[in-house]
Amino acid sequence: MDLSLIREDIDKVDKEIIELFQKRMDLCEEVAKYKLSVGKAILDKGREDSKIEKVQTFVDDESMKVALSDLFRQIMSSSRKLQYKFMEQNSATVRAECEIVDKIETQGAKVCYQGIEGAYSYLAMKRYFGEDVDGYNVPTFDAAMKEVAEGRADFAVLPIENSTAGIVNDTYDLLMKYDNYIVADLVYEIDHALLGLPGAKVSDISKVYSHPQGLMQCSHYLDEHLDWDRIATTNTSLGAKKVLSDGDIHQAAIASREAAKVFGLEVIASEIRNEKNNATRFVIISKKRSFAKDAKTMSICFEIAHEAGSLYGILSHIKYNGLNMTKIQSRPIEGKMWQWRFYVDFEGNVNDAAVLNAMRGIEAESTYLKFLGNY
């Protein structure tokens, strides 16, 4: 037995397979033209399932049946993606509902943020919109989103993820609750400090206040002081404000150095974060679907059927169109036990043909799709 001869025969068979595959894809173009003319959906799950059942009858071996099922599902997936390209002229749903601008207009904008002066959201707002921004605070993330949704604010600034503590669940959930959009983002370096009353020392402290993320991001330092009570607040600066208002030398807050200046506190321990490279990504939220022409990140949310391979099928549209997925995150669907919705970021612009093609495929094959922004 000569292995090289066997491989030559395999190469010949592979060439025949490729020729037949090309012929099949050419026929799929004709199918796409027909579906476009009659308004028929690309995905016909019943047809695909019956096709799988039929091809499996051509072999007896059970392992071959499984292999054929995998092969033909991949072939039909490639077929659908080709057909979506032909439907692209009708797939510009996202682009048609968007206003593309040279840059996001911030002059004279009214901006809200969660927390109080000195909070990291406040600092991020100042960095993005400038020192003279017309900004105001609200008590919760939900309130910030509502201000934008109801037109009282042009923009909101919300944290969405931290490099060490992970995602901010509330922000993701609120992107589903409100018809607002991400129009920009920025990364702000987090430099937590332990703040106390003037004259306070670390040895005086018995209680420490901060946002849960602040406590989490400084857990290593706090573990060195296990006798301290850790008390969560809705914002890092609110903890600093409480220390000032209570006037108790035994209390401290984990917050920014700027918060110390705002409330007249002293830094009694610095650089207490777990990771020196600690940063939070903030998103700029708007009610308007206005996106910068040089936007390079797409954010979407989708739900899928609870069955094998469904997530792979959706993500394959991103891969097939040559797009780079930069993030995927899951969150439980309210009222549906053990079912999840997925948040995905990938590189691209709403004007890109590849993005529109991917979006058409994802929309057709998911049970729900929401466009969250392009920035």
Active site members: 280, 282
Instruction: Name the one residue in this structure whose structure tokens are 């970021």.
Output: 345
The strand pairing partners of 185, in sequence order, are 283
Q: How many CB atoms lie within 10 A of CB 54?
A: 10
| Dist CA 63 CA 229 (whole Å) | 60
Under 8 Å CB-to-CB from 129, ≥6 apart: which residues? Answer: 106, 109, 111, 135, 155
Instruction: Name the one residue in this structure whose structure tokens are 């939070």.
Output: 280
Instruction: Name the one residue in this structure whose structure tokens are 């080709």.
Output: 82
| Dist CA 5 CA 9 (whole Å) | 6
SS3 at position 6: helix
Instruction: State phi, psi for 338 to the nearest 5 degrees.
Output: 60, 25
| Dist CA 125 CA 142 (whole Å) | 17
Under 8 Å CB-to-CB from 225, ≥6 apart: which residues? Answer: 202, 205, 208
Pairing of strands 134-138, 110-114: parallel
Helix (H) or strand (E) holding 124: helix 120-129
| Dist CA 81 CA 61 (whole Å) | 30
| Dist CA 186 CA 291 (whole Å) | 15
Instruction: State phi, psi for 234 to the nearest 5 degrees.
Output: -75, -5
| Dist CA 305 CA 316 (whole Å) | 15
Overall residue count recorded for the chain in this entry: 375
| Dist CA 35 CA 42 (whole Å) | 7
Q: Name the region of 23 (left: φ>0; alpha: ψ -120 to 50; beta: rest).
A: alpha
Instruction: Name the one residue in this structure whose structure tokens are 């901060």.
Output: 210
